[in-house]
Amino acid sequence: MTEELQALHRQGMWSLIPPPSQHLILGCKWTYQIKLNLNGKIDRYKARLVEKCFDQQLGINYHGTFSPVAKLPTIQILLEIANQHACQVTKLDVSNTFLHGDIEEDVYMCQQ
């Protein structure tokens, strides 16, 4: 959880403000996942802070959905490094990819 919060702070994902009364304030929750290494043993525990966006309404407080992914040059560089070191790539995980997506709307989330 500490790693996730540090990544969010490094990216400047939010600022703490009094809640505006005219906007929907979303809740949040922590999700957890166990990451395994290639031999099936626990590699690490991952925590992600997510907003509870089920109260949002299309056209009112959001205008579309998307799933941000790593940019193509990033993937190409990683594959080239693997190629130069004669590594076989079976899985690729880019940390905090969603932090690099662009949104046009202001999103207000309560602190929990």
Which pLDDT value is given to residue 83?
93
Pairing of strands 108-109, 25-36: parallel
Which pLDDT value is given to residue 81?
93
- For a pLDDT cut of 70, what percent of the chain falls above it? 76
Number of domains present in the structure of the chain: 1
Model's pTM, two decimal places? 0.58
Residue labelled with tokens 């941000």: 68
pLDDT higher than 90, residue 97: no
Q: Provide the domain limits for residue 86.
A: 2-109
